Amino acid sequence: MIVRRTKVVATLGPACSTPERIEALILAGMDVARLNFSHGTADDHRARARMVREIAARHGRYVALMGDLQGPKIRIARFADKRVTLDEGAAFTLSRTYPLDAGNVNIVGIDYPDLTTDCRPGDELLLDDGRIVLRVDEAVGDALHTTVVIGGELSDNKGINRRGGGLSAPALTDKDREDIRVAASIGMDFVAVSFPRYGRDIEQARRLVRAAGSSAWLIAKIERAEAVADDEALNDIICASDGVMVARGDLGVEVGDAELVGIQKRIIRSARSRNKLVITATQMMESMIASPMPTRAEVSDVSNAVLDYTDAVMLSAESASGRYPVAAVQAMARVCLGAEKHPTSRSSHHRLGETFERRDETIALSAMYAANHFPGIKAIVSLTESGHTPLIMSRIRSSVPIFAFSRHDATLYRMALIRGVQAVFFDPDAQTLERLPDAVIAELVRHKAVEQGDWIILTHGDFHAGTGGTNSMTLWRVPGNAATD
């Protein structure tokens, strides 16, 4: 049985709000449901989260929930006629005092009062993900006077970026603080933080998440130019988080398309080397918003992220509001499986020549080395409290499946985002040490992961030792009487 190792994150929205459609997404391969707090109400998110949990449980699946905070998205206000067409060379003003619903071809309001002090003459502002480009001529009082460099149609509430970054908006807004409380009440497994500039932004979000009573892992969305300005800035954010998202929309606008691919690879490499999760996102199958098939370029984009060993690839509008959400998940899963057949997905140089800092890290990496070099090993089992040991294991390239056996639902849901890891409910306290091999093997047989004569690796700690206690690795062989109906 071939099991896909790269996970699929699908954004829920108007196109997938019924039980039937959510069930279809789960059966198509959705591992993580993303709830985008930039859209919809708290009740919308609660209803969709409840459906995901109930339907996934019926199918014996652990599908995780991710709440994605809006962050300080800087936007223009609204036009009196909903949209205008800006001509190249025309003058256009952004004003923080102009009425927010009366924009026209000459002027529009803005919702970010510091934009006029953050910008200088000569700066380029990119609107609507870079489709419109304005050059700042001067800042006078409450207004920025600009010239249209690249024109086109501009509609209400489109985002604003400055080329090269540098806008001073804080990472967490009042709306984000309220949405964190909503995420905690729903039981989100992950909270994604938009536009962090420093590690301390993630630390602040973590304090708020914990104060709200949630144990969710924090995902830093890398989308500001400042976040990738140098290795020190990037690693500061990575180390403060549990994982990162390569959010290529705003990031690509700020750093430029030409630099984006190299930066994506650097983010993935840096995060994995620090035992952090990585999600690659934005426009991965954009054409499937309106088409039942991806383009060859999109297939290559997803495949290259898989070959770089991202943990997950993400669908945004493709699943949230597109015409073919289920087909998009199916296509994403199919492409991931195809890319994982490439030999590079089984060859690893991770942490070679480095010393290890923790005993659980030492055991985890030793287990993966044994699995990749000892013939006959068909499964790796980690008895885990927090999920940290299987996370470390998954940083090693391998074709051997990793099974996270845990008694904690929160841990099992987290595993839905970790590459190559499958979650299995298992309570070690229900077993004696002597019965443990039989119980573990029985679960693997039930999941059709092993057969008679196969080898497995088990890692665990002293029972009842709690989190961080992994200190043992053993090899077992599946006996001849292990097969079941």
Can 280 be counted among the known catalytic residues? no
Say if residues 142 and 202 touch (Cβ distance below 8 Å).
no
Can 34 be counted among the known catalytic residues? yes
Can 7 be counted among the known catalytic residues? no
Residue keyed to tokens 């707090």: 37
DSSP string, 349-376: -TTTT----SHHHHHHHHHHHHHHHSTT
* Complete edge-to-edge strand list for the sheet that includes strand 107-109: 107-109, 91-95, 143-150, 132-140, 124-127, 160-162
State how far the Cα of 468 lies from the Cα of 177, in Å rounded to an integer.
31
Can 397 be counted among the known catalytic residues? no
Which one of 78, 162, 221, 272 is the catalytic residue? 221
Rounded to whole angstroms, the maximal C-alpha distance in the chain is 82
Residues 6+ away with beta carbon under 8 Å from 151: 85, 86, 87, 88, 90, 132
Which one of 6, 7, 11, 34 is the catalytic residue? 34
State how far the Cα of 290 lies from the Cα of 299, in Å rounded to an integer.
16
CB atoms under 10 Å from CB of 367, counted, come to 28
Which one of 53, 75, 163, 210 is the catalytic residue? 75
Closest listed residue to residue 94, CA positions, set 84, 104, 85: 104
Which one of 282, 310, 459, 470 is the catalytic residue? 282
Backbone angles phi, psi at 114, to 5 degrees: -85, 0
Q: 319: helix, coil or strand? A: helix
Q: What share of the chain is helix, strand, coil (3-state, %, to 5)?
A: 40, 25, 40
Known catalytic residues are: 34, 75, 221, 282
